[in-house]
A and B are shown apart, each in its own frame.
Chain A
């Protein structure tokens, strides 16, 4: 319930701006508390490799969730936008490829990375919004592949096949932000800001209108909305989110190369968003966490069974199938149904199963 209430409870009052804190359910406080104190109990591997990576992927998946869940547009270009932001950071900032990297300071290259990636996302949006459904998927996938091949062949700017390594966060306030605990907090902060922004915007006029466009574009036009402009603006907003995720991701992996935005990586983001539950922002992070756990630990489990640890993609693929088959609303949907069943067992009078996050 705690997870669904966030999406549904404010619905009656589009105007409620204050009293935010009193409306946040207890489970959220608990989650926030646990996440903040995590470094006290978790080791470096967990902080950096599991949580840090989950937050980065979660932010990128969140940008897809925003487009797909609120706008009804399944864009496969979000990872590409993120990777472009990562490239800009490597090219304009510092990397191991000194003949290309410009070495600007972070307060220049971070905003520029967001700006350029968002510009690219907006451009893609302008191309993609005239299509619907499967065609949107196809055109964004085509753009993602084009970007992949372009970066692989372009040596002057993107350094071709090998890309950039040693891309690390700046030293700020005397903190090495790539140190596990510091990066944990950095990526947690980024995730929290993006999450809060998406939740907030979903109830703003722009966010509501986007959901209107998703449900019924023709009616939106006959209410006076410019549907095309709204869709493009959604790509731009999602582009900002994806760019933030991409910058954190390039700092986490310390490298960016064509395969960072390859077809496999692009599809991973879709899988993450769908597995977590594409209708609510938190689903992106749930999905990312599941994905990271599977890809981190299933190789060990698989090799214990004498299988090649390359097969972990198979595990993820089967998991994807199971989720799509049993719960179109992702892991969150499963969780809700379980809660609903438990509640109905407790109270048969009000045992009506709670619906998911809307249709």
Chain B
């Protein structure tokens, strides 16, 4: 980065302190061939804000997350994270700035134990990722990993290989990985999909217990879950922002009802 660009981004970072946005998307578009998975998405999420993203299958919700985390680079548009332009940053650089995510389809380390998975997550956002020395029993990251395992109720399964876990347990582990380190903004991609009602209630409790400075964006088909944990809702439709408002506004919006809530047959993906 040139000195000039560095100066600008430093100034912007200062600006962001005053405007205080955790995430800022400006005209983000992602094309897959001719298909615009998302087009011209502009939205702002404040620090500590809890946002739900709704939309039918194929609306572009997951693609939006992939662009924010850097799993894919957007075709056009700009992404600012905590005031910093991260549009061209690789995923790991964005994560190191406090962004976290879970995946709609669990992406875990099947050949490692639960404890190792969580330890890796803690290690990934800390120093000494390349250390050849085994962690000492007093390593604070080990303690932190144990806390996270307990927070998602996996203490019983801590020594088991992830490939041997049940579906629900894998979903819980997904969440533990996203809570590692000091997250500032977490993207949850359909965390409740496939969970039993009890597990859903647990999930809502986990989300509710996050410290207030930790914001999140949750993609959720289950309106009960989404509207209970979110303070603001963004609706996507065909890759575009269709509506934005409080849960009450969204629920009462006739257009939204017609499109998404009304028929009651919206897909679960």
**Which positions in A face B, CB cutoff 8 Å?**
11-18, 200-201, 203-209, 211-212, 214-216, 218-227, 229-230, 233, 237, 358-359
Contacts and interface: CB of A to CB of B under 8 A. Distances in A.
Contacts of A214: 111
A201 B135 CA distance: 11
Interface stretch (B13-21, B87-95, B223-231): B87-95
Contacts of B180: 223
A225 B109 contact: no
Contact of A14 (B103, B108, B142, B163): B142
B124 A11 contact: no
Contact of A208 (B70, B90, B112): B112
B12 to A, nearest CB: 23
19 contacts: A14-B142, A15-B134, A15-B135, A16-B134, A17-B137, A203-B134, A205-B131, A208-B116, A214-B111, A216-B108, A222-B91, A222-B92, A222-B107, A224-B92, A224-B129, A226-B90, A227-B92, A358-B110, A358-B161
Contact of A215 (B101, B112, B136, B138): B112
Max chain B CB contacts within 10 Å: which of A203, A216, A237?
Answer: A216
Interface in B61-110: 69-71, 90-92, 95-96, 100-101, 103, 107-110
Q: Chain B CB within 10 Å — which of A12, A14, A214, A225 has the most?
A: A14
Contact of A12 (B117, B129, B136, B159): B159
A282 to B, nearest CB: 17
Nearest to B137: A15
B113 interface: yes
- List the 10 closest pairs (A to B, CB-CB), nearest first: A223-B124, A224-B124, A12-B159, A221-B91, A224-B95, A215-B109, A219-B107, A358-B111, A224-B125, A15-B137
A216 B107 contact: yes
Given A216-B108, A218-B71, A224 B181 contact: yes
Nearest to B70: A221
A13 B108 CA distance: 19
B128 A216 contact: no
A13 B71 CA distance: 31
A233 B130 CA distance: 8
Contact of B69 (A205, A222, A229, A359): A222
Contacts of B161: 11, 358
A205 B177 CA distance: 16
A231 to B, nearest CB: 12
Contact of B142 (A15, A200, A358): A15
Contact of A211 (B91, B112, B135): B112
A14 B95 contact: no
Nearest to B121: A223
B69 A17 contact: no
A16 B101 contact: no
Contacts of B258: none
Contact of A221 (B95, B100, B119): B95
B109 A204 contact: no
B159 A215 contact: no
Interface of B is mostly: loop
A200 B111 contact: no
Given A205-B130, A209-B129, A222-B95, 12 more contacts: A11-B115, A15-B136, A17-B134, A201-B132, A206-B132, A209-B120, A215-B109, A219-B108, A223-B92, A224-B124, A358-B110, A358-B163
Contact of B133 (A204, A230, A358): A204
B139 interface: yes
Contacts of B200: none
B243 interface: no
B174 to A, nearest CB: 9
B228 to A, nearest CB: 26
A215 B111 contact: yes
A221 B90 contact: yes
B173 to A, nearest CB: 11
B158 interface: yes
Name, among A204, A205, A212, A358, the residue most crowded by chain B CB atoms within 10 Å (CB to CB): A205
Contacts of B130: 205-206, 209, 229-230, 233
A200 B134 contact: yes
A76 B133 CA distance: 28
A358 B117 CA distance: 14
Contacts of B92: 221-227
A209 B163 CA distance: 17
B155 to A, nearest CB: 12
A16 to B, nearest CB: 6
Contacts of B90: 221, 226
B137 A16 contact: yes
Contact of B132 (A12, A204, A222, A229): A204
Nearest to A197: B132
